[in-house]
Chain A
Amino acid sequence: MLEGLLIGLQTALSIQNLLMVIAGCLIGTFIGMLPGLGPMSIIAIMIPVAISMGDPSAALILLAGVYYGAIFGGSTSSILLNAPGVAGTVASSFDGYPMARQGKAGKALTIAAISSFAGGTIGAILLMIFAPALSSVALLFHSSEYFALMVVGLSAIAAFAGTGQVAKAMLMTVLGLIMATVGEGALFNLPRFTMGIMDLQSGFGFITLAMAMFALPEALFLVLKKKEMSGDSGEISELRISGAEAKAIAPVIGRQSLQGFFIGVLPGAGATIASFLGYAVERNIATKEEQDEFGKGAIKGLAAPETANNAACTGSFVPLLTLGIPGSGTTAILLGALIALNVTPGPRLMIDEPQVFWAVIMSMFIGNLVLLVLNLPLIPYIAKVLSVPRNYLIPFILFFTLMGAYIGQNNATELLILVAFGVCATALKFADYPLAPLLIGFILGGMMEDNFARSMQLYDGVAFIWERPMTLGLLVLAVILVLLPSFRARRAKLRAQGVADGD
């Protein structure tokens, strides 16, 4: 591990990569602050830039910096304006905004910065410990287990979607898988489902799809909404926190770093769930007097979600880097970028390209440090971004989405596909269909089919399902994950009707 750390330091501390971390964090913070633009949109917009750099370590470092910056920027706008730019920072506004209203905006931002730093750093240490262990287990996996693991990952995403949403999330996932089958597969040199259109021979462009699913609908929602996104950014004073306050939030940060990290590792449960759960847990274990403070500007209530969401962001890198399976929309986009750069994340990553793996981990430390050092003094100026007029902002967001799709393919048809899918995605968003599962399904689709085909060929049929116990176990787990929510909903309904249940 020490050797790896040194390799990572060597790569991450080169001038170019340090600049990448700083640039990524700054870009992420600035854009993440704009309400309506989440980390997925920002990373999707940044991908063409990252890919054209050609160096996978530098690209991943840049994108990881953008990711952290976006989460941090999102908390700035939820604290100052009560307008979270990112779902993962909604919980931060529960106590952050009341603090800002009481004139303690500076203190709130400082607490957010410190908790984010601690969450991210502890998360990176845990990643360093768990990723190598997990990837040595993953080396025992065959293609059939990989296939089963992806099925588990995708069903977990559907299962965590919430009540009344499981079928929708499942449909979106399957739709993503279906879209991945369009075009020529690597296994069979046959164009499939292209409807005779030449432009579909190579399948749908992943960047185009990412832009259409996230950036475009969010920009259209900004247009549709009447509310101007301006608010009382006001004066920012009182940046310091007292020793007593630091003592109060230290245990919260410790607990939430661990909890957030492990929630982040689970597929489908990312920063959003981690932050809400972190808030709920801290509220429940607080003393009676402190509980009354929650929601009215409690420092613990701000520190908990901030720590948890950053730790979860780090945790979500574990399945990506060790198994090559993204657990969230953001890591799915990162996976797509990595594949475009000819790096295949998975258990072999640490052996084949240790400099990529360790450089990413080291850049997480550096990125967190940059965010803390750079953003604390810059907080009053950063808040100025919120005063950019919407009339200028929206055309630029739309333009960057178009450019992102165009640069990748240099093909104007791609832009039309982008607009068409963007309209479809907006309609889906109106009807409350989750969009991230579609993209995750799309990105995993090709890999899933390859692994499925390989196991079919090795076992000459579907016998691999029962001949390999681990595969069977994983597939059973996947079925349970999908059926569990509806079973629980059914039981709750029966109980509500007064019917006694079996246990």
Chain B
Amino acid sequence: MALDRWIALILLGICLAYGYTAWFMMDAGLAPFMRRAPIWPSSFPKVLSVLAIISCLIILLGFEKGEPKIGEIDYRRLGDYHIGQAMLLLALMVAYALLLRPFGFLGSTMGFLVIGSAILGERRWIIMIAVAAIATFIVWYLVQQVLGIYLRPLPGFLGG
């Protein structure tokens, strides 16, 4: 089964759960005065769930035949691409999300930019650190001072 049909299957599961909530669970907690209104909070989701399930089934059962097309990247041969680098970068983004508050903006951003280029194969450490430091400071200055959005610059224990 091709990837698009697998995705349709997963989405079908999500839509079924959504539809179940809309059709059978949401209306239970509805206030009595709302029951008299012609439209309930669940009305629109009910229509959507039906439409979504129909389109999932059309894709899943292959009613609409299109010529199989290989896009920019052939996912069947993912190993041929830089999949490791991509995964590492995603992990780095998650780490950045988790460490942004505790480590402060300046430290975590510099770390992100340096490690990011290191993952991609860059080894000129001094240039990397210099570029990252300048860019981090400029972005922090623009966001904090010009746009006036607070970004904690330093780690918490340093009073940032």
Contacts and interface: CB of A to CB of B under 8 A. Distances in A.
B56 interface: yes
Given A167-B58, A430-B71, A456 B81 contact: no
Contacts of B100: 406, 412, 415
Interface in A394-428: 394-396, 398-399, 402-403, 406-407, 410, 412, 415-416, 418-419, 422-423, 427-428
A402 B96 contact: yes
Interface stretch (A185-193, A198-206, A322-330, A347-355): A185-193
B93 A52 contact: no
A162 B51 CA distance: 20
A402 B7 contact: no
A389 B15 CA distance: 43
A395 B7 contact: no
Contacts of A220: 86, 89-90
13 contacts: A49-B147, A164-B69, A167-B55, A223-B86, A225-B82, A226-B80, A392-B128, A394-B116, A396-B135, A399-B113, A410-B150, A427-B3, A456-B38
Contacts of B116: 394-395, 398-399
B117 A391 contact: yes
Contact of A416 (B29, B97, B121): B97
Interface residues of B, number: 72
Interface string A204-227: 000000000000000011011110
A171 B8 CA distance: 9
A181 B120 contact: no
Contacts of A489: 64-65
A196 B118 CA distance: 40
B38 A433 contact: no
Listed residue (B7, B49, B58, B89) with the most chain A CB atoms within 10 angstroms of its CB: B7
Majority DSSP secondary structure for residues of B touching A: helix
Given A49-B147, A52-B149, A225-B73, A165 B66 contact: yes
A239 interface: no
A226 B147 CA distance: 38
A101 interface: no
A164 B66 contact: yes
Interface in B11-58: 11, 15, 18, 21, 26, 29, 34, 37-39, 41-45, 48-49, 51-52, 55-56, 58
